[in-house]
Structure 1
């Protein structure tokens, strides 16, 4: 086998430029598939992380938008917390508005949350502290900001004690930063930060006071046992409908199920894009066939000499198949390296965790090599079936 590979490399070296072009076509196809599959996996991981960090628990309860006569009230929150399967439930309010700090302004998503919200939503203080029960009870003008907001205005994360102005209820209010949290769409903001609002958290009682409201936008619920989450959702729905003497007025979303649907959609998109990129491997295989047919034509006399001194059809065919295998393998390795390097570079630039789908990379290499060998069968068969007399007479 070693001699066949040496012979293949020697023959491929005769036409270096042509060989480089053929190998490059394989490498481009493999790099495209590797890059697309890696982007799909990294994107799916990043989005799942963001869904966990944006402030939504296992179940999200809201009022049907068509029902203007129903509101989520404190009594509804108490009723939900009284259900045995519910571990905890918190009110959530949300409003898109403007933030002003140090003479600069930015779009902001203001989240009204309760004390202990970190038990359901993923917010953990990097500096300072979260809201206390007294903060909620008094409706104080305290706020939490995410790290991106802090760095956007001050160039550093620790801005505890700084003042900011938030537009709530038609007028600006002064707030004191009591904590900086590591949440709020960090990866997505790195990618398209200028289009996403910054995140600020305030006590929900403060938002109610400034907006002149006593209701909530949503209630986030954490269920004790995820295996009975659907049953718990039905119990909550029935309890709310009975307590408020209404029907069809509430929406309950299973966030975990929404994640699964999103993951399935992203898998389908990544598979389709990878299949499209895989077409380039087929085109590259056709290129291998063309190049090897030309090589057979150029080496007709050489083939005749080999046959005349004892080389049989199997040896000739195996020699040309080894050349096809060598071209495909070198191109696959180069393409894999290029694809991985591009993916790593992109993840480093955007600050996203790098993930490699090794089974997909392995399948891509196998497909590229097998397709290259298959497309090399016909030229090898042509070379193996040349008659020695005709080959020696060929000029």
Structure 2
């Protein structure tokens, strides 16, 4: 086998440009599949983390859009908190508006939350503090900002004590930053910050005062046992309907189920894109067949000499198959290196954790090598069946 490989490398070196182009076609195909599959896995992992951090617990309770006569009130929150399946529940109000700081204006998503929000939504203070019970009770004009918002306005994270003006209820209100948090959505903002608004958190009571309302947009619920989320959702809806003497007025969304549906969609998209990229491997295999057929034609006289001095059909066929194997193997290895490097660079640029699907990489390499060898069978068979007399006579 060592002699076969040496002979294959020597023969491939005769036509360097042709060999390089063939190897490059395989490398591009393999790199495409590796890169696309890695992007799919990394994207799915990042989005899952963001959904977990934004999560809204296990369930999100809201009023049916058709029922304009209903609204989530303080009594509904207490009803949910008193249910045995519920570990914690928080009111949430969300407004999309704008904020002004240092003469700069930006779009912002304003989240009205209470002091226990970090039990359900991922809020980790980098600087300062989260809201206290007194902040909620006194309807303070305090706010929390995520680290991206802080860096966007000041170029640094620690802006505790700074003032900002937020447009709420038709007019700008002054707020004091009491904490800078690492919140859900930061990774998404790194990726698509141009389209995703900045996040600012204020006491929900403050938003109610400024908006002139007493209701909530939704109630985020965390249940004790994730295995009975669906049953807890039904019980919560029934409890709210019983307490308000109505029917069909409330919705309970299972966030975990929505995440699973999104995962399935992302997997399908990644598979389709990888399959499309995989077509290039088949095309590269056909390129190997073309190169091998040309090589057989160019080396007809050489084949005749080898057969005349005793080389069997098996030896001639093995020689050409090893050449096909060598081309596809070198191209596959280069493709894996290029694909992995591109994936690593992309993850570093967007500050995303690197995930490499080793099984997919091994499958891609195996597919590329096998398809290359298969495409080399026909030219090898032609070479092995040449008659020595005809081959020696060939000019």
TM-score category, normalised to shorter length: over 0.9
Question: Corresponding residue for 2:367?
Answer: 367
Q: How does 1:47-62 map to 2 (within 5 A)?
A: 47-54=47-54, 56-62=56-62
Aligned counterparts of 2:185 and 2:386: Cα–Cα separation in 1: 66
Q: Distance in 2 between matches of 1:306 and 1:348?
A: 54
Shift of 1:244: 1.1
Q: Mapping of 1:298-317 within 5 angstroms?
A: 298-317=298-317
Measured after TM superposition, the shift of residue 55 of structure 1 is 5.1
- Aligned twin of 2:342: 342
1:219 maps to which residue?
A: 219
Which deviations, in whole Å up to 9, do the C-alpha atoms of 1:305-361 show, x marking residues without a partner?
A: 111111111111111000000000000000111111111111111111111111101
Identify the residue that residue 162 of structure 1 maps to in structure 2. Answer: 162
2:11 is matched with which residue?
Answer: 11
Deviation sequence 1:80-123 (CA, Å, 0-9, x none):
01110100000000000010111111000000001111111111
Distance 1:266 1:47 in 2: 10
**Does the residue aligned with 1:124 lie in a helix, a strand or coil?**
strand
Mapped to 1, the partners of 2:15 and 2:7 lie a distance apart of 14
What's the CA shift string for 1:125-171, capped at 9, x where partnerless?
A: 01111000011111100000000000000110011111111100011
Q: Structure 2-normalised TM-score?
A: 0.99
Contact 2:23–2:331 at 8 Å: present in 1 too?
Answer: yes
- Alpha-carbon spacing, 1:178–1:55, altered in 2? closer, same or farther (3 Å): farther
Q: Aligned residues, how many?
A: 395
Q: Cα offset for 1:65?
A: 1.2
For 2:139, the equivalent position in structure 1 comes to 139
RMSD across aligned C-alpha pairs, in angstroms?
A: 0.8
Greater than 4 Å deviation, 4+ residue runs: none
Partner of 1:27: 27
In structure 2, the gaps of 5 or more residues are: none
Between the aligned partners of 1:367 and 1:44, the Cα distance in structure 2 is 25
Does structure 2 retain, via aligned residues, the 8 Å contact 1:77–1:90?
A: yes
Measure, in 1, the Cα distance between the counterparts of 2:187 and 2:180: 17
Tell me the TM-score normalised to structure 1 length: 0.99
Write the distance in 1 (CA, Å) between the matches of 2:278 and 2:156: 45
Partner Cα distance (1:322, 1:59) in 2: 59
Q: Deviations over 1:11-30 (max 9, x none)?
A: 00000000000000000000
Where do 5+ consecutive residues of structure 1 fail to align?
A: none
Q: 1:84 aligns to what SS in structure 2? A: coil
**Are the equivalent residues in 2 in contact too, given 1:184–1:199 (CA < 8 A)?**
no
SS in 1 for 2:115: coil
